[in-house]
Structure 1
């Protein structure tokens, strides 16, 4: 092993990560107190060793290639671990602190995230939490969010998503509604029932109901005379008030305040929607962000395990 060469390579990797984080050789040079030419040479050394291009360069900006993105994610995590171990050994590993700004949708916020916050605050009292609970479309970067939780994948290429839960769905109604209008037995029966719909803020259109019929994914069409926007819980509350049928997440219907709801069309269940943690790519995650993600994923997994047993 050529120790001197390996040490130089680690330094080049650190410079590469800073350039990737800031999306600029010049900004990385200023942050590290070296010249842009030195940054360029270090990146070139790493690319030569790997035999791939890590950045796509134009006259105005740089961006990571697919290989570069993968390399950045793995190297930044490795460098973070090295830094943490060094601080631990020297007794300087500081507790997470500062302000953590998070955006969460109403349903996932109320029933998944809020129960985790008290435990998080007990573990990390030096972190100040700012929680935005809404279904609005946010400007993640302009509004300064550290994290967001949303359905699916972000459309903004500057953001990455880590899936945390495939939330299963069921169709529910009140006992009184079913006594008065009958219980649907097939998807075709939906056309003769009041089906409550939710308007998604990102599209302005009703969120489709999704089912599995003999392994085939189905999104049946039906008419609805009432639609809610802003908060999905309005739909759930209206179903509880004998207003009609509504497809919602099982983790909502399982809450004690909604225990009077009855599931229908169970043979057609099996579909789910993914909730993901969203954060900015090309940025090394701070301690406060990492510990929050780890705790949320752990607690959500525990909740899902309890709900399935």
Structure 2
């Protein structure tokens, strides 16, 4: 094999990655134990070799160019693989280390992921977690994410999807709303009520409610004067304050149900669910820390729905 990288070049790549992660040459120099001038020379050496600018520099800060972001993502993965290989051959395989950047939607973050991270950090203190709680779609390559959690089956075939759970849906309303508007006794009563809707950020469409009907999952599209977008927790807040009826994941409202702040409706049509997946790119070599995190979450959260039918019927109110 022809040699393509000397020690100086590999060192320059490492300093470039540290500067990109920390957002500055001075911070990178402090972390690496070298001078800011040494970091600047290393970056300049890489830019000359590649023929592109890696950073946009101002007097106050630096930021990656588009080419720099692509190069950083690939170099970071390569350095991670080298570190993993070294740990394996030196007996350090059992101790994952390094940063993980994870994107997770709001409800799953607050009610599922975040409560587990203290235990994960206790087990693996050398892994640093950068958690981005957001309901927007992310680009793994451009934004440097290692993992993402999303609801529904991913449309992108370039992503590996590990199912975490089938999350049960439940229909709820507050006692004050039921006192004012009455309690629905069947699915046919729902169009007469204020049924709070949620708009899916990725499509701009309202999500139909799901119910079990004669052993099948039935989709019910309802109209309402109340609709939330971006954050699904908003529909629970509206329901809790008496604004109407909402359908949400049981893991979000179970404490409200236990306290009596919300009441479960039409339980005979309950049992429908939606899946949550842990995603990462097919082409990406998962670092030891990422593999460890994946197995940790799957072990804690993988809860298949009990005999959930896959067939669906559609109904419009």
Q: 1:158 to 1:221 in 2, by over 3 A?
A: closer
Deviation at residue 184 of structure 1 after TM alignment: 0.5
2:154 corresponds to which residue? 154
The separation in 1 between residues aligned to 2:211 and 2:126, in whole angstroms, is: 45
1:177 corresponds to which residue? 177
Could you report, residue by residue, the CA deviation over 1:8-61 in whole angstroms, capped at 9, with x for unpaired residues?
xxxxxxxxxxxxxxxxxxxxx979xxxxxxxxxxxxxxxxxxxxxxxxxxxxxx
The separation in 2 between residues aligned to 1:160 and 1:287, in whole angstroms, is: 17
TM (norm. structure 2) is 0.66
Q: 1:85 to 1:131 in 2, by over 3 A?
A: closer
Instruction: After TM superposition, list the pairs within 5 Å mapping 1:296-307 onto structure 2.
Output: 296-301=297-302
1:263 corresponds to which residue? 264
Instruction: After TM superposition, list the pairs within 5 Å mapping 1:175-254 onto structure 2.
Output: 175-254=175-254
Q: 1:257 to 1:210 in 2, by over 3 A?
A: closer
Deviation at residue 174 of structure 1 after TM alignment: 0.4
Please state whether the residue corresponding to 1:210 is helix, strand or coil: strand
CA RMSD in angstroms, aligned pairs only: 2.8
TM (norm. structure 1) is 0.67
Please state whether the residue corresponding to 2:168 is helix, strand or coil: strand
Could you report, residue by residue, the CA deviation over 1:75-95 in whole angstroms, capped at 9, with x for unpaired residues?
xxxxxxxx79963xx534362
The separation in 1 between residues aligned to 2:164 and 2:157, in whole angstroms, is: 20
Q: 1:84 to 1:172 in 2, by over 3 A?
A: farther
Could you report, residue by residue, the CA deviation over 1:71-127 in whole angstroms, capped at 9, with x for unpaired residues?
xxxxxxxxxxxx79963xx53436211110000011111010001111111111111
Q: Runs (4+) of structure 1 moved beyond 4 Å?
A: 83-86
The separation in 2 between residues aligned to 1:190 and 1:282, in whole angstroms, is: 46
Please state whether the residue corresponding to 2:209 is helix, strand or coil: coil
- Equivalent pair of 1:240/1:258 in contact (CA under 8 Å): no
Deviation at residue 291 of structure 1 after TM alignment: 1.1
Deviation at residue 263 of structure 1 after TM alignment: 0.4
Deviation at residue 301 of structure 1 after TM alignment: 4.6
The separation in 2 between residues aligned to 1:299 and 1:157, in whole angstroms, is: 26
Instruction: After TM superposition, list the pairs within 5 Å mapping 1:64-75 onto structure 2.
Output: none
1:61 corresponds to which residue? none
Deviation at residue 190 of structure 1 after TM alignment: 0.6
